[in-house]
Structures are given as structure tokens and as C-alpha cells.
Amino acid sequence: MADAADDEILCERRGAAGLVTLNRPQALNALTLGMVARMRQALDAWAQEPGIACIVLRAAGRAFCAGGDIRRLHDDARGGRGEAVDAFWRAEYALNALIHRYHKPIVSLIDGIVMGGGVGLSLHGSHRVAGERYAFAMPEVAIGFFPDVGATYALPRLPDAVGVYLALTGERIGRGDALAVGLATHAAPAASFEAIAEALAAGGAVEEVLARHAPADAPAPGPVAAARALIAACFGEGDVAEVLARLDAAAAQGSDFAAAAAATIRTRSPTSLGVACEQMRRGGALSFPEAMRTEYRIVTRILQGHDFFEGVRAVIIDKDGAPRWNPARLDAVTPEVVAAYFAALPDEPRFS
């Protein structure tokens, strides 16, 4: 595993920068336990090196990171290798927590898709630089999972309930919208990413380097920015049924955005929707370690259930796009069912 990880994630010191390159492009840089462990080792070491002023995180290929290696996790869980699955979640969530509290700037250079585990690596650092093809999503409810890797903390803190919208729909948003709501902090042409890394390695101040490489024209906000008032009105409070009722009412008044959002939500796992909505309602009051501990509780229960395995089958294995959720109806996911996902576990990690 160590040898594979050395190839799949490259960690090197370059001048004043610790440079991390996700290097599994054929798998859209999906994360493995070895990759997570290697990055943690590098960050721990660089935290103690006074000559390293910042961390630069980038990726090879056309994607930044599509998330964790869900197929591998599915197969391990199905194959009775539960300890390996648990080790991955513990290590990944601990890395997310380290990134959140890291005392040096972490500059993520993001072009292409950034989802799931890739969000966990980048969103909690200090600087998120979006290239032209930036596409953010937390699409976990589409596979019977839930928005994790710190989404419990980060998404409820986005303005106008945009984080709740992203959690319940799993829709992608581009860099204009990401900049408008704070998911991205800066923009730069992807062709400038290497120059940014080199300037930071040469000791340049992060804000000055990023300002020099900013595009001449600010990226225009997209459809989410245009619909922020509607999103706030529909997603700002209540359970999933209430969100859907407000979306349906807005759709009846002619909102294509509301109609599309409602239609998308109705294809998602009812259990995942109930859990994700409760995450968003609780998460704004949680510290980051508390949020990660909450996610560990949820993921443990998710892997004891049905919908994750069915979602992976439908989307990744058979690719028929026709998951058979159980329960299939949202009204069968009672508050008591949802609350059970958040109950404390024995021997749970603290992530602090």
C-alpha cells in the first residue's frame, strides 16, 4: 500500500512550499487509504518545518478529485473487510480535521470536478483557487450516502441556504457560483497553476501571488447566484417534505429552477435525504471536531443499511440508473429513524 500511495500521491518540498499532487488521474484522483495516510504524514512533517511557509495542493489529469474510492469501499464492506472500511473513514476524517486546524496556508489549485473526498481536502484549507473547469458537488444522496468530509460543518455556513440546496440535490455548481458563496476564494486560469506553485515555492506571499494570476474579468455568477432568494425561501428551514412543498409551490408559479430541484430531490435516497437535511439543521451549531464525530456516527450506520450498496450498484456497478431505495418513500423516514443515525457510538474518535 505504501508503494502504491507513493505513486498515487506525490509529496515533496519545493523551496518554501510543501507540494502535494494527487496523481491517480485514471481514477479521477479518487482517494485511497494509502493516499490519505501519505498526505497526513507529509502535513504533520511540514507543520514542524519553519522553512515551509505554505502547502500547495494540486492534481494531475482532468479532475481535481472525484471523492473517495467508493467502489473499493463498497467491495471491502460487502466482502466482510469492515476494519479496512472503518480505517479509511477514521483516517480521512482525521485528515479533514487536521486541514481545518492547520496553522499554515493551504492553497488548493482546483480545475475540473471536486467532489466528496476532494472537497474534504480542499474546502477546509485557507485558499481555494478555481480554474475554468471547476465543478463542485456533494452528490452523495444520489448513491444512498450522505455529504461527509466536513460538509456537516461547512455547508450550513454558506449564505442563503445554498449549502442545504447542494446537500439535498447533489447538483454541480461552477466557479462563478462557488466564488459568490465562498466555496472558492480565488480564481485563476488553470494554465497559471504551475506558475502559482513556483511563485509560492520561491517564497511569494500567498495573496500577492494569487492576485497577480487573477483573471482580468471576474467569473460571472451562474444559476445558483441568480436563484439565491428562491433557495433561501425554499431550503432555509424545515424537513425535506416542507422543502419539497415550497419548491412545488414555486414551480407552480413558473419557476423552472424550483421544478428542476424538486424533480432531482425526488430521485434521491429518501433515507439519505432525511439524514442530510438533519445534518444541515444541526451543523451550524457544531464545532469542526463535533461535526466530524457526527459524520463518523452517520457513516457507521449507513454501512449497516441498504441504500448505499443499492446506490453504488445502480450508479457505479450496473450503471442502470434505477436504484431501488428502501424505504422508497420519504414519509417512511421518520424523525426517529433519522435520529438513530446521530446517536453516540462506543469508542468513537474525537477528531481534535
Q: Which residues are catalytic?
A: 68, 117, 140, 148
Whole-angstrom distance, CA of residue 300 vs CA of residue 19: 33
Whole-angstrom distance, CA of residue 167 vs CA of residue 140: 8
CB atoms near residue 195 (< 10 Å): 14
Whole-angstrom distance, CA of residue 210 vs CA of residue 165: 30
Whole-angstrom distance, CA of residue 191 vs CA of residue 75: 37
Cell readout for 28 is: 479521477
Query: Which residue, 328, 268, 271, 273, is CA-closest to 301?
Result: 271
Let me know the angle formed at the C-alpha of 6 by 125 and 117, rounded to the nearest 5 degrees.
35
Cell readout for 294 is: 457526527
Q: How far is CA 22 from CA 12, 132, 190, 324, in A?
A: 12, 19, 16, 34
Cell 449564505 belongs to 159
Whole-angstrom distance, CA of residue 300 vs CA of residue 49: 36
* Helix/strand/coil (H/E/C) assignment for every residue in 72-120: HHHHHHHCCCHHHHHHHHHHHHHHHHHHHHCCCCEEEEECCEEECHHHH
The answer to whether the CB of 292 falls within 8 A of the CB of 99 is no
Q: Are strands 106-110 and 54-59 parallel, antiparallel or unpaired?
A: parallel
Q: Which amino acid is at 214?
A: A
State the virtual CA torsion across 282, 311, 58, 225 in degrees, nearest 10: -60
Query: Which residue, 307, 293, 39, is CA-closest to 150?
Result: 293
The answer to whether the CB of 119 falls within 8 A of the CB of 166 is no
